[in-house]
Amino acid sequence: MTTSNDTYPQVAAIVSDILSVIDTMETVPPLADDMLESVKIRCGKIPEQIQSNRIKIAVVGVIKSGKSTLINAMTGKEVVKRGAGVVTAVTTRIRKGKKNRAVLFLKSWDDINQTLKNVLEMFPQDDTSSLNVNPETFDLRRKKDQDFLKQVYGKLVQAFPVTDQGIRPETLVIRNALQGYDTCKDLVGADREQLVFEGRQFSDHKLFTGDAANAFYVADACLELFGKTLDPRVELADCQGADSTDPGQLNRVVTYLQQANLFVYCISSRTGLRRSDMRFLKIIQGMGLLENILFVNNCDLSEHETLDDLLASEQNTRQELSFLLASPELYSFSALMRLFCAMEKKLSRRNRKRLALWQEDPVMTSWCSENAERFDARLSGLLSRRHHRLLVSNHLERLFHMCTALENKARLFLDGLNATGDDREQTRKKIARIKDNVKQLETIVKNAVPGAVAGLTRELEADLDNAFAKDAGRIRKKMVAFVNQTPLDTSLYQNRLKELGIKKILYLMFQDFRRSLDLFVMTDILPDIHTLAARQEDRIQSYFQSLLDTYRIDLSKNSLAPGQSEDTNIQFQMAAHQPALDRFVDVQAIKKILGLTLPDITMMPRYSGRIQTHALTGLGITFVTRFFRALVDKQQSFSLNSGFDVAARRIKKQTLQGIDPQIEQFHLRLKNQYFMPLIRAVTRDVTDKIHERFSLYRSLDMDIDETRAVDQAKKQTQQEKVTGMVTQLQQIRRDILELKETDVH
């Protein structure tokens, strides 16, 4: 996926031109000072700073919608494994690199053990009591705990075989943990370790993560691709299926979405929008991200006999999307055909035949190709604008200030060469006055900004406390209503009571109930959290913008050169451009560059080991007596409802008791892990902007008397050299303004 409108080479050229001017200035003794060296260092770092950050594009959709195929089509290579079923087990990030290299970031042992503790909660312990393992302190690295897990797995397979909905999630988690242990045990560590595939072993990463057992141990993956097919400004992400029944996996997808700048949502033309699509799109809508989304109607050409049939599919999808967006941007094409066309020379014989068969219908294939080109053009335009605004615009502002400071210095030198005694004395006094004013203002800023930020922090904490006091009540009310209204349904298991036993049925009910609660938090509570956070972010934005405006310097009041008209005076030229160049505080851009996301909001209920005993006690003696009579006498009727209702109430009671502490814990994480780092980052950005403005005045810190000592014979040569610098700097500033206009339009 390449784009033509890349401003990076233009910025790099501007940086190169400025550095060239600095090199020339250093050959003129009165100009060579610490200020030049400082500008040279800051200017030289800008290209690397731009390249180190990328625009993140998340490719999302439900299982079997063709996300991985679309990723491969966008890169023109078989980069990630594709195929029917649940193939994408981890979020895979793809970016341009100097060579083909795959880095897998493995989970820590704490991550792995916590996942297994979750699936072991409420499991009947009397069936495995011979091992005497406490699930709350479970550690997969211990042989006894492994044996315990194997026994649990055996009981789950025996008691809960495959149903119409597939294998139960708990069974899959345990199976993958056990099967992948021998391969991964020496790779995983106390912290998140890395596993690297590069060179000829690069493609082996697909074999590793394509195995669900190994993928269980992987947190996410980053692929670096050599070649020209991928835009160097971009990071693509192949996300897990948005219809996953694993709340933890869904939460990882949502976490990446918070970092992403653009979204490509993949829909299969064979199935159209499904209920799980709408559920996930509502999550995106609740996060306020729908304005950054493009939809791809991924055409299955084997399913559509004619173009009219395909157009009907597209129209249905467009109508359904209109319930969420007034004008959804939907592009219909075949990702697989596009991939095959890009890899035609490397295709297998079977796939060449498939491609040839599709190409026998030129009407449909040309229509798909045209849509793919429109998609590319739209994505390229959005990418360029996002890249410019987030990563380039801020640096253009700084380059402009650097360029202006250098021009100030060069003009002052020229004025000194030509000044008479009176002019020289007048200029010396103005320089002294400006230096004194700037020194005073810098002292004020140095003392005032930390105090202002501390005040904001205190206000924000108070506002956040008040917001949680208000909003947490509403969030709690929604969660309590959900807990009370969601049944722990025993009807699914009644006909297997005698086979499974009471404890296993309680385990099933508990796991299903907890999964439902976590999914409810993702779909219904997450939007409330984002709304709360957005209000506080707006407050931070407003506060720091006001702070930045407070220290704005009126450049037009500081004319230096004696007898120089306002039209040619550099200070007035700077003042004319300042409103367009002083970039506003952009909290959202800072968040994206930092990769800052809201803390994990999956509020899974925590249960003590006694909950199972309490639940069983709640069944009552009468219930237990009737249950055992029914086991002996098959003619005896028996109902689960009354006894299990009591058990369900006890489970729900403990769930409700855990809501307030978990909301409060989330509140603390939100303050300490999200808002405090955000405030620190915005503080750095605003402080840098203020000091960049001061650098314009530091450029005037020159001993004017040094120009008097210049040898008369060299004066004309130096005048010509420095005049040439001024001309170069003027052209560079025009180039910067032109590039800035590109951003505006």
- Does 176 score more than 90 pLDDT? yes
Q: How much is the average pLDDT of 21-34?
A: 84
Q: Tell me what pLDDT residue 300 has.
A: 87
- Does 556 score more than 70 pLDDT? no
Q: Tell me what pLDDT residue 204 has.
A: 92
Q: Tell me what pLDDT residue 558 has.
A: 46
Q: Tell me what pLDDT residue 562 has.
A: 47
The answer to whether the beta carbons of residues 94 and 80 sit under 8 Å apart is yes
- Does 574 score more than 50 pLDDT? no
- Does 135 score more than 80 pLDDT? no
Q: How much is the average pLDDT of 224-244?
A: 83
pLDDT class of 633 with cuts at 50, 70, 90: low
Q: How much is the average pLDDT of 114-128?
A: 76
pLDDT class of 4 with cuts at 50, 70, 90: very low
String of DSSP letters for 288-331 = T-GGGEEEEEE--TTT-SSHHHHHHHHHHHHHHHTTT-SS--EE
Q: Tell me what pLDDT residue 315 has.
A: 92
> Which of 634, 49, 698, 101 shows the shortest CA–CA distance to 390?
49
- Does 598 score more than 80 pLDDT? yes
pLDDT class of 409 with cuts at 50, 70, 90: confident
Q: Which of 31-40, 301-310, 415-424 has the lowest mean pLDDT?
A: 415-424
Q: Are strands 293-298 and 262-268 parallel, antiparallel or unpaired?
A: parallel
pLDDT class of 653 with cuts at 50, 70, 90: confident
Q: Are strands 262-268 and 55-60 parallel, antiparallel or unpaired?
A: parallel
pLDDT digits (tens, 9 = 90+) for 55-93: 889 999 988 888 989 999 999 888 888 754 444 467 889
Q: Output the CA–CA distances (angstroms, integers) from residue 343 to 280, 340, 352, 700, in the order listed.
A: 33, 5, 10, 60
Q: Tell me what pLDDT residue 701 has.
A: 58
Mean pLDDT of the chain: 79
Q: How much is the average pLDDT of 566-584?
A: 48
Q: Give the separation between CA 73 and CA 504, rounded to whole angstroms.
A: 47
Element (H, E) at 102: strand 101-106
Tell me which residue has tokens 């918070």.
258
Mean pLDDT is highest, among 165-179, 192-206, 500-514, for 192-206
pLDDT class of 15 with cuts at 50, 70, 90: very high
Q: Residue 267: beta bridge partners?
A: 297
Q: How much is the average pLDDT of 611-635?
A: 53
Q: Which of 134-143, 283-292, 384-393, 527-536 has the lowest mean pLDDT?
A: 384-393
The answer to whether the beta carbons of residues 281 and 324 sit under 8 Å apart is yes
Q: Tell me what pLDDT residue 732 has.
A: 93
φ, ψ (nearest 5 deg) of residue 323: -70, -20
Q: Tell me what pLDDT residue 155 has.
A: 82
Q: Tell me what pLDDT residue 202 has.
A: 92
Q: How far is CA 734 from the centre of its chain?
A: 35
pTM higher than the cut 0.85: no
130 or 120: whose pLDDT is higher? 120
Q: Give the separation between CA 90 and CA 208, rounded to whole angstroms.
A: 11
Q: How much is the average pLDDT of 251-267?
A: 87
- Does 336 score more than 90 pLDDT? yes
Domain 55-97+230-360 part of CATH 3.40.50.300: yes
Q: Tell me what pLDDT residue 421 has.
A: 65
Structure tokens at 406: 């250098």
Q: How much is the average pLDDT of 155-178?
A: 78
String of DSSP letters for 168-207 = -HHHHHHHHHHHHHHHHTTT--SS--EEEEEGGGTTHHHH
Q: Tell me what pLDDT residue 581 has.
A: 45
Q: Tell me what pLDDT residue 455 has.
A: 78
- Does 579 score more than 50 pLDDT? no
Mean pLDDT is highest, among 285-289, 623-627, 669-673, for 669-673
String of DSSP letters for 352-364 = HHHHHHHHT-HHH
Q: Tell me what pLDDT residue 551 has.
A: 65
Q: Tell me what pLDDT residue 334 has.
A: 93
The answer to whether the beta carbons of residues 232 and 262 sit under 8 Å apart is no
pLDDT class of 285 with cuts at 50, 70, 90: confident
Q: Give the separation between CA 105 and CA 191, rounded to whole angstroms.
A: 10
Element (H, E) at 268: strand 262-268
Element (H, E) at 224: strand 218-225
pLDDT digits (tens, 9 = 90+) for 352-380: 999 999 998 999 999 999 999 999 999 98
- Give the chain's end-to-end CA distance (angstroms, integer): 23
Q: How much is the average pLDDT of 275-281?
A: 86
Structure tokens at 578: 């300042």
Q: Give the separation between CA 692 and CA 39, rounded to whole angstroms.
A: 10
Structure tokens at 21: 């001017």
State the burial class of residue 147 (Cβ atoms within 10 Å of its Cβ: 0-12, 13-18, 19+).
middle
Tell me which residue has tokens 């409330």.
528
Q: Output the CA–CA distances (angstroms, integers) from residue 728 to 24, 415, 418, in the order listed.
A: 11, 18, 21
pLDDT digits (tens, 9 = 90+) for 673-694: 898 889 888 888 887 777 766 6
Q: Tell me what pLDDT residue 724 has.
A: 92
pLDDT class of 140 with cuts at 50, 70, 90: very high
pLDDT class of 145 with cuts at 50, 70, 90: very high
Q: Tell me what pLDDT residue 580 has.
A: 43
Mean pLDDT is highest, among 136-150, 245-259, 588-602, for 136-150
Q: How much is the average pLDDT of 375-386?
A: 87
- Does 23 score more than 60 pLDDT? yes
Domain residue spans of the chain: 55-97+230-360, 112-181, 450-551+580-690
Mean pLDDT is highest, among 215-219, 484-488, 522-526, for 215-219
Q: Give the separation between CA 542 and CA 449, rounded to whole angstroms.
A: 15
Of the chain, the percentage scoring pLDDT greater than 70 comes to 76
